[in-house]
Amino acid sequence: MREFAHVSSNWRARETADAYLERYKIPVIWDIDTRALVRHLRMAGALRGIVATDGSAAEKLVEEARALPSMAGRELASAVTCAKEYRWERGSIPLASSFAAHAAASAGGAGPLWQAAAAAMAKREADPGVRRHKVVAYDFGIKQNILRQLVDHGCDVTVVPAATHAEDVLAMKPDGVFLSNGPGDPEPVTFAVQNIRRLMGRVPIFGICLGHQLCGLALGGKTFKLKFGHHGSNHPVKNLLSEKVEITAQNHGFCVDPDSLPSSEVEITHVNLNDHTNEGMRHRNLPMFSVQYHPEASPGPHDARYLFAQFTKMMEATRAK
Amino acid sequence: MSKRTDIKKIMIIGSGPIVIGQACEFDYSGTQACKALRDEGYEVVLVNSNPATIMTDPEVAERTYIEPLTTGYLEMIIARERPDALLPTVGGQTGLNTAVELAESGILGKYGVKLIGASLRAIKVAEDRLQFKDACQRVGLEVPASAVVSDIAKAVKLADDLGYPVVIRPSFTLGGTGGSIAYNREEFTDAIARALDASPVHEALIEESVLGWKEFELEVMRDHRDNFVVICSIENFDPMGIHTGDSITVAPAQTLTDKEYQRMRDAAAAVIREVGVETGGSNIQFAIDPQTGRMVVIEMNPRVSRSSALASKATGFPIAKIAAKLAVGMTLDEIPNDITKKTPSCFEPTIDYVVAKIPKWQFEKFPGSDTTLTTQMKSVGEVMAIGRTFSEALGKGIRSLEPHAPWRAPAEIVDAVLHEKLHTPGPDRIHWLLTALRRGMKVEEINALTKIDPWFLRQMEDAVAVEKEIAATNVNSVSSELLKKAKRNGVSDEQLAQLWRTSPEQVRATREKRGIRPVFKRVDTCAAEFESFTPYMYSTYEEEDEADTSARRKIVILGSGPNRIGQGIEFDYCCCHAAFALKDDGYETVMVNCNPETVSTDYDTSDRLYFEPLTLEDVLSVIDREKPEGVIVQFGGQTPLNLALDLKRNGAPIIGTAPESIDLAEDRKRFGKLLEELKIPQPRNGTALSPAEAVSVAKEIGLPVLVRPSYVLGGRAMVIAFDLKTVEECAAQAVRLGSGSSAERPILVDQFLEEATEVDVDALADGSDVVIAGIMEHIEEAGIHSGDSSCVLPSVTLKPEVLGRIREYTAKLAKALRVVGLMNVQYAIQRDTVYVLEVNPRASRTVPYVSKATGVPLAKVAARLMTGKKLRDIKLAVNDFDGVPELRSKNYYCVKSPVFPFSKFRGVDTILGPEMRSTGEVMGVSPNFGLAFAKAQLAAGQKLPLQGTVFISVNDHDKRFLPALAKDLTAAGLNLIATRGTAAALRSLGIEAGSVYKVNEGRPNIVDLVKTGKVNLIINTPLGRESFYDEKSIRRAAVRYMMPCITTISAAVAAARGIRAMSEGTGNVAALQDLHAMEANANAPAPTQRVTSAS
């Protein structure tokens, strides 16, 4: 980043970013000309790189970086997936409840009028929903906020390792299966593609990011690598069904080629307005849809949160049949 | 494309004259809207009373009306033009209010005009406090808790529940009278009792206080398909309690977490949907309690605003332009992003830099006014600066303000005073904050005093630490690393020079020797993710430069910086015109300016835009990078002129009139000698270097005299002195403003010509030939600053021989000063003798007005002269008067009238004098002079009465004008009342007039009559300084009760003629395009009527 904030100043802050990152051993590169870097990547395309602090000669590091394997053709899902299945029960962290709690803690300092309002808001944000949906989520490198969103939308979630066989998943009698995001090239994740083919039509499916690309492959399509990918939290995506644009967070280097999909079976539902690449699709007959971007993103806008409700509705509809 | 085909002709209402709170940002937004709609094939009818705007250029709309923004005149325009639709959202609050009046009075319905952009219902919900509160609550959002009370006991209980402090607002009192804030129950009990008493309905609103909370704004857009985007988030550095227009603001928001930001974004979407703004831009304000994070919605503007102009400049996303397109049914995704060309406008800009806006105040113009910053806006302008970090942006912003010289607190300031300065925000608070940090005051303590977020204070603390490191070195010993760090923090060469006790030139030399030079980065809406095709740049100290300059022939135009009284939109207008003309001529145009409100800082105006401070350092960096063929300094007012000599010394190719000539015209002694050589009379004058010397010069000249500092615009600190004591005081004031320090900057003392008529002349010259553009006769007498006087073109009372002499002198002066471009001369005519008061060989404030009146774009012509074209190559319709050509005048009068900000500065005397205090101007057009004047007055907000009573009190000298005055007023059916002397004079002339007490004569006096609404117009011409003060209370009451008040006899005579003309019919409206196409007068201007004094 251009400038790193060494101090924290927020009512929810407990420590500085410095201390937090130190604890998790996450390095930070800052005080560089980030614009120059972005322009370089824009023109040269995504590059392999190395971060070094040991004073090695730049030429040597460039050599090393060049020797690194390209992302294309790499299957990384099995490297980052969970070792065994587990249940996820936590919903999202409502902002309001923190201040309601704060207000309760500093009783007397704040007036009852707004305390009541805060409590009401906290309740609204944490609405548990009435009906529960049993969801099995494939972990190809899953982001926790997806799980939280599923819980917020009334799902009981079991997370399973990337290579879990479709029959084992079906044996858990889920109302729906979720296919997560994850790193690397989707093409070599053939085991997942096969599992998706086995699941299609037998259970409602919702995929995000890598999950979307795997659906594309399972439906007979192809994927390709973008020059420098989509990153950031302001990508305009048009929902072709509603004709409305949603502002989305994205982080992907590969993409589904919509022309490679059988149009008799697959309907393109979302498109990126910046470069017109594919951002979403659904099966014309089977309960199955997926998006390339991150509707759960945090940080990121909430415009696409409706997709979680769309998933639960799909599960309800399938159950009703 | 989903654009509407059922409408073809769209009317846009502008925001009228520049006033505090509504400045040239609405010229920017209105101009954008006009251009956008015409690009889409719509015909645009534009109405605005302000001639100094780009939007009223005849090329901007198909039909342009410079008429008063009243329903009466607008109905005439609607009846004539029959527009299909009215876009009310791009003309500020004035445009919106006028549109609402037109809708509610049934005029829109009568002519079948549809409101587009915002429905009447949406406007009402957004603008009405209670309806807006309900709307927010319906979508689950909070607003500050409040309740209406009429009973003390219940009120106290409610206040206890709300928690202190509590805001108390009595219902239905004028201007918030009786309102207050109570910090505890005891204070509240007193305050509520007072408030209930003050309220005529014994009712008050008590509201939870959000003072000191963090304040944010979101600039959002929505299209009719319900696509919603946030263009920019803005954080107020100054917390709640200071009007956002008076706050330093920063974009993007710096102290929100993503969770908080997304909550705010969701809330903004919910608000715009619930209020029902279906298309266009809105500004929604939020407050956040820094202790608990609780968020409340404060207010919403359902239109483009000052903040949206700022957001447009801060992001490169043209909100007004897009809003106009959305209003005709287009959607965000079908409008391309101008900057990237390949991506759509349906996105949220990414900002990889920090923008700081700092307001510019001018309390010094209004002695006696309260300088505390409150919820009522008082600033007259603003600057914006862009840096890669907050520190850099703030540093650049501070030096963009003028004066540029680093501000230093007096060393002897005691802590208690410092605390007070921090706690009670005033115009210099940013400097006091730095002073406190330099003294080592802790961030926690400053935060407690100011409630400014500690993050900002820490950033400033870091910057102060770098300053200290710098101070421990010198210009030779400083390490390159430290010097670079300072520059990256936004420290100017001038500041470094001060810390090192050396010269800025020395600092620059060192910096350049070490290769520490700024690079230019682009504002591209997307943080470099896509290629940008619009070169909109800012400087910073980084590695990569993106300026990507061309080898084309190019001209750099220096803008005028923040709006100030005396240096405002008129100069921006000239800079824009230079860009337009030179672009047409095939030059690449490069604009440098730091004022976000302007059209000149629209990336569409010039080929390349540098959003930079107008200091020598920053301008030289741009010139070094661009290597232009010419630099234009004469269009941006005093700001670029002050740089001219230094720029030239540093090798900048200044084009047009030589800086030395500009300097000569400012130099009293050398200029006086020139006038003598040319045999042109001037008032007796002298210069002084000390107050004592000024007194002796004044004695020599003879009283009264005009005393002022040199090198200032707008008559700053200029005073007419009737006695030597005043001479001394004023000279001392001039010294405080920097005059008298050297022979180059002396105090100026001039003979004051009493009872003279003042004349302004604008002329064009190419070094050999001269064309007179306009001879404007002031309606107020000499002594009133030319910017504060009404004037008329063509002149009404000047004799042909006087006009001849004016032309002759003007031509002589232009030649002698070798003027290339524009020149303005001010003359005073006393008993048929023409005196030169001053010559400014540069663009003047009247250029846009003369351009609108004559139909000749003077600034464009001047720009071409500066690039080498000759007057004889440019076809201008002129009449020749004894060898001096003058633009042909038309068969109509154009009256320009000033607009004053007195209502914002309570207790300030409104009497006009040689120091300019008006913020804006309007123009009235009519073939009848009286009507043209009346229209200008109406447009300026002076409601000249057509019935009721006129109060007249004139000095003895002015009594000779009474017959003409009274005749017109009584013929219009008005009653007259007067003070004893004036009433006797009237009666002796056989004119019926009641008499009334002066303030000190008894009661009920004239002020009582004003207060009870028994008077509809005040004509009060005091004489000499003493009576100025005696009659202050009348004028003050007039401002307070919004009563038209005329303080000069010539204006009174003109007003009486106007009233009479109005009573005989309001005249007609005319489009500028038709007026300009009118057959010009082939002969000398032949006024159809003359103002005569009966003597």
- What are the distances in angstroms from CA B151 to CA B205, B209, B554? 11, 20, 71
Instruction: State how far the Cα of B57 lies from the Cα of B78, in Å rounded to an integer.
Output: 20
Quick one: how many helices (H) and strands (E) in chain A? 11, 10
The answer to whether residues A256 and A281 touch, using CB atoms and an 8 Å cutoff, is: yes
Say if residue A95's pLDDT is above 90. Answer: no
Give the whole-angstrom CA distance, residue B853 versus residue A315: 72
For A99, the closest of B292, B342, B458 (CB atoms) is: B292
Please state the length of chain A: 321
Helices (runs of H) and strands (runs of E) counted in chain B = 37, 40
Question: Token pair 């490191």 is at which residue?
Answer: B469
Rounded Cα gap, residues A202 and A177, in angstroms: 10
Q: Does B524 touch chain A (CB under 8 A)?
A: no
pLDDT-derived band at B1092 (thresholds 50, 70, 90) equals: very low
Q: Report the C-alpha gap between B709 and B706 in whole angstroms.
A: 10
- Which candidate, B171, B237, B233, B231, places its Cα nearest to that of B199? B171
Q: B1042: closest CA among B932, B880, B903?
A: B903
Task: Say yes or no for a CB contact (<8 Å) between B142 and A114.
Answer: yes
pLDDT in tens, B741-763: 677 778 889 898 877 889 999 99
Average pLDDT over residues B228-238: 97
Residue B1039: pLDDT above 80? Answer: no
Contact B154/B168 with Cβ under 8 angstroms? no
Query: Dihedral of CA B593/B598/B599/B602: which sign?
Result: positive
Q: Of the ranges B120-124, B446-450, B886-890, which one carries the lowest mean pLDDT score?
A: B886-890
CB atoms within 10 A of CB B970: 17
Arithmetic mean of pLDDT, B326-336: 96
Closest CA to A270 of B338, B333, B263, B345: B333
Tell whether B262 is within 8 A of chain A (Cβ).
Answer: yes
Structure tokens at A281: 């699709």
- pLDDT band of residue A24 (cuts 50, 70, 90) is very high
Burial A82-99 (b: 16+ CB within 10 A, else e): eeebeebeebbebbbbbb
Nearest Cα of chain A lies from the Cα of B143 at a distance, in angstroms, of 10
Peptide bond into B1004 cis (omega under 30): yes
Tens-digit pLDDT profile for residues B162-204 = 888 898 888 776 555 667 888 899 989 988 988 888 787 888 8
A294 classed as catalytic:
yes
**A134-185 pLDDT tens trace:** 999 999 999 999 999 999 999 999 999 999 999 999 999 999 999 999 999 9
Contacts of B348 in chain A (CB under 8 A): 234, 247, 301
Q: How far apart are the first and last CA of chain B?
A: 70
The answer to whether residues B373 and B236 touch, using CB atoms and an 8 Å cutoff, is: no
Going by C-alpha positions, the residue among A161, A175, A141, A126 that lies closest to residue A317 is: A175
**Contacting residues for B318 by C-beta, under 8 A, at least 6 apart:** B32, B312, B338, B602, B604
pLDDT tier at A32, thresholds 50, 70, 90: very high
Residue B174's contacts (CB-CB under 8 Å, 6 or more residues apart) are none
What local confidence, expressed as pLDDT, does residue B313 receive?
Answer: 97
Q: Quickly state the pLDDT bin for B1093 (edges 50, 70, 90).
A: very low
In 3D space, the residue among B7, B13, B19 whose CA is nearest the CA of residue B940 turns out to be: B19
Residue B1026 contacts by C-beta under 8 Å, 6 or more apart in sequence?
Answer: none
Phi then psi dihedrals of residue B220, to 5 deg: -125, 160
Contact (CB, 8 A) for B642 and B614? no
Residues in chain B: 1095
- Torsion angle (degrees, nearest 10) of CA B398, B399, B401, B405: 120
Name the least confident of B387-401, B620-634, B664-678: B664-678
In this model, does residue A259 exceed pLDDT 90? yes
Q: How far is CA A152 from the centre of its chain?
A: 16
Q: What is the pLDDT of residue A298?
A: 92
Distance (Å, whole) CA B631 – CA B654: 5
HEC-encoded secondary structure of B218-245: EEEEECCCCCEEEEEEEEECCCCCCCHH
If you average pLDDT over residues B888-892, what whole number do you get? 87
Tell me how close the Cα of B4 comes to any Cα of chain A, in angstroms: 18
pLDDT over threshold 50, residue A260: yes
pLDDT score of B740:
66
Cα dist from B250 to A5, B24, B237, B658, B902, whole Å: 16, 20, 7, 39, 29
In chain A, what residues touch B388 (CB-CB under 8 Å)? 2-3
Q: Name the residue in chain B with its Cα closest to that of A120.
A: B140
Residues 6+ apart with CB under 8 A from B127: B96, B302
- Going by pLDDT thresholds of 50, 70 and 90, the confidence category of residue B367 is confident
Contacts of B62 (CB under 8 A, 6+ apart): B38, B43, B44, B45, B1073
pLDDT tens figures, B41-95: 999 999 999 999 999 999 999 999 999 999 999 999 999 999 999 999 999 999 9
Q: Are B999 and B1030 in contact (CB under 8 A)?
A: yes
Is A276 a catalytic site residue? Answer: no
DSSP per position, B276-315: T--SEEEEEEEEE-TTT--EEEEEEESS--HHHHHHHHHH
Residues 734-753 of B with CB under 8 A from A: none
- Binary contact (B208, A114; C-beta < 8 A): yes
Residues B559-572 pLDDT 10s? 999 999 889 999 99
Q: In angstroms, what is the C-alpha Rg of chain A? A: 22
Query: Cβ of A284: how many Cβ atoms within 10 Å?
Result: 12
Q: Compute the count of residue pairs across chains A and B with CB atoms less than 8 Å apart.
A: 139
Which residues on neighbouring strands pair with residue A225, listed in sequence order? Answer: A254
Range 375-404 of B in CB contact (< 8 A) with A: 388-389
Interchain contact A97–B (C-beta under 8 A)? no
Which stretches of B53-137 are assigned E, i.e. beta strand? Answer: 63-65, 85-87, 114-115
Which one is predicted more confidently, A17 or B955?
A17
> Among A95-104, B120-129, B708-717, which range has the highest average pLDDT?
B120-129
Q: What is the rounded average pLDDT of the residues B618-639?
A: 96
pLDDT digits 0-9 by tens, A198-211: 999 999 999 999 99
CB contact under 8 A, B294 and A12: no
Q: Give Cβ neighbours of residue A291 (< 8 Å, ≥ 6 apart).
A: A207, A208, A209, A212, A269, A270, A279, A280, A304, A307
Catalytic residue among A75, A155, A209, A270: A209
Say whether residue A34 is in contact with chain B using an 8 A CB cutoff. Answer: yes
User: How confident is the model over A60-69, as pLDDT tens digits?
Assistant: 999 999 999 9
Q: Which residues contact B60 (CB under 8 A, 6 or more apart)?
A: B31, B34, B35, B44, B46, B54
Give chain A positions within 8 Å (CB) of B225: 243-245
- Closest residue on chain A to B454 (Cα): A9
Q: Measured between CB atoms, does B343 come within 8 Å of chain A?
A: yes
Rounded Cα distance, B1005 and B1013, in Å: 13
pLDDT digits (tens, 9 = 90+) for B131-168: 999 999 999 999 998 888 999 999 999 999 888 889 88
* CA–CA gap between residue B32 and residue B39 (Å, rounded): 10
> Would you state the pLDDT for residue B119?
94
CA B874 distance to own-chain centroid: 33
Beta bridge partners of A157: A88, A135
Cα Rg for chain B, rounded, in angstroms?
29
> Tokens 């599992």 correspond to what residue?
A195
Contact B259 A5 (CB under 8 A): no
Which letter, b or e, does each residue of B528-566 get, where b requires 16 or more Cβ atoms within 10 Å of its Cβ? bbbebebbbbbbbbbeebbbebeeeebbbbbbbbbbbbb
Q: Which residues contact B1034 (CB under 8 A, 6 or more apart)?
A: B953, B999, B1006, B1007, B1010, B1018, B1020, B1045
State the CB neighbour count (10 A cutoff) for residue B441: 19
| Alpha-helical regions (H) of B916-992 | 929-939, 962-971, 980-988
pLDDT tens track for B399-436: 999 776 667 777 778 888 999 999 999 999 999 999 99
Q: What are the C-alpha distances in Å from B259 to residues A93, B18, B250?
A: 10, 40, 19
Phi, psi of B751 (to 5 degrees): -65, 135
Say if B290 is an interface residue toward chain A (CB within 8 Å).
yes
| A153 belongs to the catalytic site | no
| A79 vs B: CB within 8 A | no
